[in-house]
Structure 1
């Protein structure tokens, strides 16, 4: 039976139907308090926790007296603007009771699809976790248009897990997992406790959206799409009924749910993505000292780079070659070609004075680099 004991970094997605009372449009404060207790226990055991939470639009509905009807995109954005501060304060208060600092992060589809923005978002969220805080992530519904939004936080949570190298993604839902059919209409529907491969048959079980249309936008189909993203990133995923209090404690105690197993770990999956899925946009030639440092698992510093070629941008994949021209590594570069050319061979402490800004000491950070 899968548990949370081995988890090191968890992303917990909380839907509107779980967090908000659908009749009144208000927070379920006792439930949120119990979740905060669960998170405190996980952090005490040395685990990183990231929350991806819906709820801003639902809270804004009540605040703007728009309960009980379908909203236009502009009205949804207005509700998000009105409700986001309430959502942020709710988490700040609930987790603050356990002396846990929260940090809000609003993302759009582009932030997790564009590599430049992806690197920026990843760096910020990594720093928040390093400082011991809990990121509270939501889609930036106030500014996102249909073309640049997810529309559901299941897939946003999966992309966040992928971005941060999380090993566990938990989707708190209004159903206790995946069934062969909709259990509300088909008495023969069977519960699936473990899924190791997302076959066409499994994906077809998603059907259409099945959440409360007045409160949430995600259904089983979006959860299976999230599972596909997570599993490819080496992150296992769980769908569980999160409506009762203390959901993470209940999960740890073995409550029924559906686990989607990952075939590899996040680090290995990420290395495969960088090393095989991304075509290099440029080339860096390094000296023998830098090549040796890379083999020891260190970052690539500008001081060890002799030449570069290609018109690459920050976040692009570049090939790293030794002095005889053999590609020894590949990674996501932290500076674009124009700026990188200005700091080749220089000490990291000189970057800021040369460029006028500092995007980190490494030209390629070790977390964004894979040996070939």
Structure 2
């Protein structure tokens, strides 16, 4: 499907742009840094900054650079090894970026994040203010996951997801994923010569593709993580593009309307930053399955979720944790902050709000999820995304 004319004709305005580059684009076959690619990337981002755009770079490579520095031939597998190697590589990677950006008189800043920085509301807001101040100082933030201290349950897992969450955090206009393929295909073109290119995605729910099984030997992502990034970004009202990391100047061409790579149309976004945080910053702790009446009340009538509409509960969660709201077939309808823990909800599900105090022995909220703490899934009325992954072990 080709990019619509209306999308091609966009004028270039001052925008917030997040660019993610993966390890496979940053390194050569011998795992040494691809300095020519890095130089072109730095030139492109500095040019955007001089035009007045606000630019954030999400860069992989700390573990890969650390492996080269230490003479390791394989990527470490245990989290302790990764943390140690990332500690070696991160400083070296930033030094290279700083040297290159300094040639163009462009200041940069290192920003290391863990999942908890986006889960806890106060840290999420503080991260937002940090980025805003860096923009005011004409600084390009270079973001990476804080591999040195992150633990499994607080890891993003890949920089595709991290970049989408950062884009959502700052309310970006664009997210560019620079990768080792030039666009999205109907199957992995490295394994399937009949794979068809996809240039435009209006709704993620319309896709039915085979995304292969893993990323590169030294990276942690694959096409699955890029489509998850697209879900986060487009649901936050952000336009996203996947394009070849060997040609960073494709970013400039895409911004002027050239139909390069695969571009994803932004969907109607949550109307405030708090709802973007609920939709994307939080990791859901459970799932609530709703009867058809509750699905309609939430999805079409814009109402809060009442206990009477809950048919089944899955997971262990506390009050104010994030949960996914599903129909009886398991299709996601919305996400929200729940007012009761899972034990309490098991007791009051299917009952009227007027019965809550009698059942629990105290006066609780009339709603299970208030509409102010609820974010609809824009694809809830579209076909579900069908992702085929034979083996996700690499991630």
Q: What is the TM-score of this pair, normalised by structure 2?
A: 0.64
The offset of 1:240, in angstroms, is 0.5
Query: Conserved in 2, the CA contact under 8 Å of 1:232 and 1:269?
Result: no
Question: Given the superposition, is the C-alpha separation of residues 164 and 26 from structure 1 closer, same or farther in structure 2, using an over 3 Å criterion?
Answer: same
For structure 2, the residue ranges without an aligned partner over 5 or more in a row are 1-6, 282-319, 322-395
Per-residue Cα deviation, 1:59-78 (whole angstroms, up to 9, x for no partner): 00011121235532211111
Name the counterpart of 1:65: 71
Question: Given the superposition, is the C-alpha separation of residues 4 and 181 from structure 1 closer, same or farther in structure 2, using an over 3 Å criterion?
Answer: farther
Name the counterpart of 1:12: 19
Name the counterpart of 1:256: 260
Name the counterpart of 2:325: none
Name the counterpart of 1:96: 102
Query: Conserved in 1, the CA contact under 8 Å of 2:178 and 2:248?
Result: no
Query: Conserved in 2, the CA contact under 8 Å of 1:203 and 1:224?
Result: no
Q: Does 1:163 align with 2:180?
A: no
Question: Given the superposition, is the C-alpha separation of residues 277 and 235 from structure 1 closer, same or farther in structure 2, using an over 3 Å criterion?
Answer: closer
Name the counterpart of 2:330: none
Name the counterpart of 2:85: 79
Question: Given the superposition, is the C-alpha separation of residues 273 and 101 from structure 1 closer, same or farther in structure 2, using an over 3 Å criterion?
Answer: closer
Query: Conserved in 1, the CA contact under 8 Å of 2:160 and 2:229?
Result: yes
Query: Conserved in 2, the CA contact under 8 Å of 1:10 and 1:169?
Result: yes
The offset of 1:207, in angstroms, is 4.0
The offset of 1:182, in angstroms, is 1.6
Name the counterpart of 2:211: 206
1:66 match: secondary structure: coil
Query: Conserved in 2, the CA contact under 8 Å of 1:173 and 1:240?
Result: yes
RMSD: 2.7
Question: Given the superposition, is the C-alpha separation of residues 82 and 271 from structure 1 closer, same or farther in structure 2, using an over 3 Å criterion?
Answer: closer
1:144 match: secondary structure: coil
Cα distance in 1, alignment partners of residues 70 and 111 from structure 2:
23
Name the counterpart of 2:228: 225
Cα distance in 1, alignment partners of residues 152 and 139 from structure 2:
31
Question: Given the superposition, is the C-alpha separation of residues 250 and 135 from structure 1 closer, same or farther in structure 2, using an over 3 Å criterion?
Answer: same
The offset of 1:109, in angstroms, is 1.2
For structure 1, the residue ranges without an aligned partner over 5 or more in a row are 279-314, 317-372
Cα distance in 2, alignment partners of residues 69 and 119 from structure 1:
34
Query: Conserved in 2, the CA contact under 8 Å of 1:35 and 1:248?
Result: no
The offset of 1:143, in angstroms, is 0.7
Name the counterpart of 2:130: 124
Count of residue pairs brought into register by the alignment: 275
The offset of 1:175, in angstroms, is 0.9
Query: Conserved in 1, the CA contact under 8 Å of 2:234 and 2:265?
Result: yes
The offset of 1:96, in angstroms, is 1.3
Question: Given the superposition, is the C-alpha separation of residues 175 and 274 from structure 1 closer, same or farther in structure 2, using an over 3 Å criterion?
Answer: closer
Cα distance in 2, alignment partners of residues 158 and 4 from structure 1:
23
2:243 match: secondary structure: strand
Name the counterpart of 1:288: none
Q: Which of residues 146, 156, 161 in structure 1 aligns to 2:152?
A: 146
Question: Given the superposition, is the C-alpha separation of residues 257 and 4 from structure 1 closer, same or farther in structure 2, using an over 3 Å criterion?
Answer: farther
